Amino acid sequence: MLPRCASPRPTLRRLLFAGLAAASSLGCLGMPSPLAPNLAGSIGMPHNGVLTGGVELPRRGPGYERFRPTSPVYWGHPRLVAAIERAARAVEEKRPGGAPLVVGDLSGPNGGKIPRHNSHRTGRDVDFLYYVTTPSGAPIRNPGFIPLGADGLAQLADGRFLRLDVERQWLFFRELLTDPEIDVQFLFMSRELEALVIEYALAKETDLALVWRAQTVMIQPVDSLPHGDHVHMRIACRPEDAVNGCLGGGPHWEWLEPLPTLEGPLDELLALVAQDDPFEPEPALERVAEVDDERPDTEPLSDARHGG
């Protein structure tokens, strides 16, 4: 749970006072402030927001490793970080002997803009490299942002081939999609890889409603690269997040718990608060061409749904 604030149902007046005070006097909302008791956790939009009360994903754990072990951008909403650890551990336990999931960037310690990304600002976004095997099916660690083609194959610089480990990939998605602690809002990935994963799921899965939900949240971004080399997952705001300032960043799917309607221009207030970016990128985190993620990572249209 996030560190909760005093009032479960903020009034607009309190929010407005808190937000304006924070924006004008604190410089940022990266740290919890008594002046803004109702804004906490994932605050604002994925492309214009900050994070308080985040937790850091450890460098490695059962079934996963960080792609950049020493990077400072592995902070996220506590529910997101815990869900990543649970899902990776479940894959390791259910299909032992595999290579670890490789986890890309989350967010900075206080959210805000980070290198390589336009979103990833509020602790609700994370990148995953795909599970891969050799062509003969031996699991190997994904060496990093290798584009997989429509056949699920990728060729490395040394001529060797990798193949999407569709079994572990679906198992991982299944764990995330059925985790009661998070609501998956998006799995940004290429249409070709979605087709491979969904084809496998339809053949193996008895819960077809789950497959339908998976297909619904799998979207190829309309104006960034097609995500053939990684998956970008975003979790949705929950009602307890929404009353503390979490704003959507896409459709709120019909199977999710409805969000409360706050009175007044909360959007404008949060946009104002989030303008002040608490995270200063470090020189060591300059863009790296081969892992230049989300160029740009932009939202699909608000009504974007895949597969009709």
Please identify, among the stretches 86-94, 120-128, 274-282, 299-307, the one whose residues bind Zn ion according to the rule CB under 5 A: 120-128
Q: Is 116 in the site for Zn ion (CB under 5 A)?
A: no
Is the Cβ of residue 145 or residue 170 nearer to Zn ion in the bound state?
A: 145
Provide the token pair at 250. 């896409």
Is the Cβ of residue 179 or residue 294 nearer to Zn ion in the bound state?
A: 294
Is the Cβ of residue 19 or residue 64 nearer to Zn ion in the bound state?
A: 64
Q: Are 77 and 1 in contact (CB under 8 A)?
A: no
Q: Are 110 and 30 in contact (CB under 8 A)?
A: yes
69 burial type by CB count under 10 A (0-12 exposed, 13-18 middle, 19+ buried): exposed
Please identify, among the stretches 51-59, 127-135, 158-166, 270-278, the one whose residues bind Zn ion according to the rule CB under 5 A: 127-135
Write each residue from 260 to 299 as x if it is in contact with Zn ion (CB under 5 A), else as -, in one continuous string.
----------------------------------x-----
Binders of Zn ion among 90-109, rule CB under 5 A?
A: none
| Cβ at position 25, least distance to Zn ion in Å | 32
CA distance 141 to 230: 13
Contacts of 76 (CB under 8 A, 6+ apart): 51, 54, 55, 57, 84, 106, 107, 123, 124, 126
Q: Among 232, 237, 245, 279, which residue sits at the site for Zn ion (rule: CB under 5 A)?
A: 232
| Cβ at position 48, least distance to Zn ion in Å | 16
Is the Cβ of residue 113 or residue 163 nearer to Zn ion in the bound state?
A: 113
Our CA dihedral for 157, 282, 78, 201, rounded to 10 degrees, sits at -20
| Cβ at position 249, least distance to Zn ion in Å | 12
| Cβ at position 293, least distance to Zn ion in Å | 5
Q: Is 127 in the site for Zn ion (CB under 5 A)?
A: yes
Instruction: Measure CA 30 to chain center.
Output: 19
Binding interface with Zn ion (CB under 5 A): 127, 232, 294
